[in-house]
Amino acid sequence: MDDGIGREGDEGQMMNRKAIFVSVWVLFAACAWGQMSAKPGAEVKKLDYFVGSWTTEATVAQGPWGAGGKFSSTNTTEWMPGNFFVQGHADFKMPPEVGGEGKATSIMGYDTDENVYTYDEFNSQGRREVSKGTVSGDTWTWTSTQIYEGQEIKQKMTIKILSPASYSLKLEISMDGTTWMTFMEGKSTKK
């Protein structure tokens, strides 16, 4: 015997499921459309300066880390699909007491929530560097904190653009964030 009550309940549940499905599908499509139409902002486009093949020659200063010496690297960077991030691959050589030879992979971008540039690097010596950067005119300043042998070290890299194909760099370190000493100075040139 069919009293019709079960059928109306089933039809109501079916309509609710269809409404939920359609709502989720519309939300998903709207999100996908919003991502497809996103374009890199002016801040991101400033990273274009660093795209290409670069050679760096620098001098590591004498200090608590050792006698110092020559640093060199070759770095090739390119835009990732979408042009929001720049990815790089580098080979580097430095004095053995500060690391020796190695390879690194990096990603540069812009964090619109914090209004800062970002730099994440992973190298073949097992280290990861996370830096935040700002730019003022022709000067980029990148800051980070690293732990070396249990000691927190603050780092500041200042890059001054000299031409469309070269920039100077200075890496300073500090134990307390107020007294800085030069770790390395040099120049990068685009090939």
Pick the more confident residue, 5 or 74: 74
| Tens digit of each residue's pLDDT (9 = 90 or more) over 13-36 | 666 666 666 665 655 555 555 555
Residues 110 and 43 sit within 8 Å (Cβ to Cβ): yes
84 with 120, same domain?
A: yes
46 with 28, same domain?
A: no
Using the 8-state DSSP alphabet, how is residue 61 labeled? P
| Tens digit of each residue's pLDDT (9 = 90 or more) over 63-122 | 888 899 999 999 999 999 999 999 999 999 999 998 899 999 999 999 999 999 999 999
Query: Which residues have a Cβ under 8 Å from the Cβ of 12 and sit 6 or more positions away?
Result: none
- Determine the pLDDT at residue 21: 62
Residues 137 and 116 sit within 8 Å (Cβ to Cβ): no
Q: Does the CA dihedral 80-87-188-52 come out positive or negative?
A: negative
76 with 34, same domain?
A: no
Closest CA to 158 of 175, 128, 177, 138: 138
Q: Is 117 exposed, middle or buried (0-12, 13-18, 19+ CB in 10 A)?
A: buried
Using the 8-state DSSP alphabet, how is residue 101 labeled? S
Q: 58-87: buried (b, 16+ CB within 10 Å) or exposed (e) per residue?
A: bebbeeebeebeebebebebeeeeeeebbe
Average pLDDT over residues 47-67: 95
Q: Please report the DSSP string for 124-170 in residue order.
A: TTS-EEEEEEEEETTEEEEEEEEEETTEEEEEEEEEEEEETTEEEEE
Q: Does the CA dihedral 27-28-32-33 come out positive or negative?
A: negative
The CATH number linked to 141 is 2.40.128.20
92 with 54, same domain?
A: yes
- Determine the pLDDT at residue 151: 87
- Considering only CA atoms, give the Rg of the chain: 26
Q: Domain count for the chain, please give it.
A: 2
pTM of the model: 0.78
What mean pLDDT, rounded, does the chain reach? 88
20 with 68, same domain?
A: no
- Determine the pLDDT at residue 16: 65
56 with 32, same domain?
A: no
Structure tokens at 181: 């000493």
3-state secondary structure (DSSP) of residue 176: coil
Domain around 24: 1-38
155 with 63, same domain?
A: yes
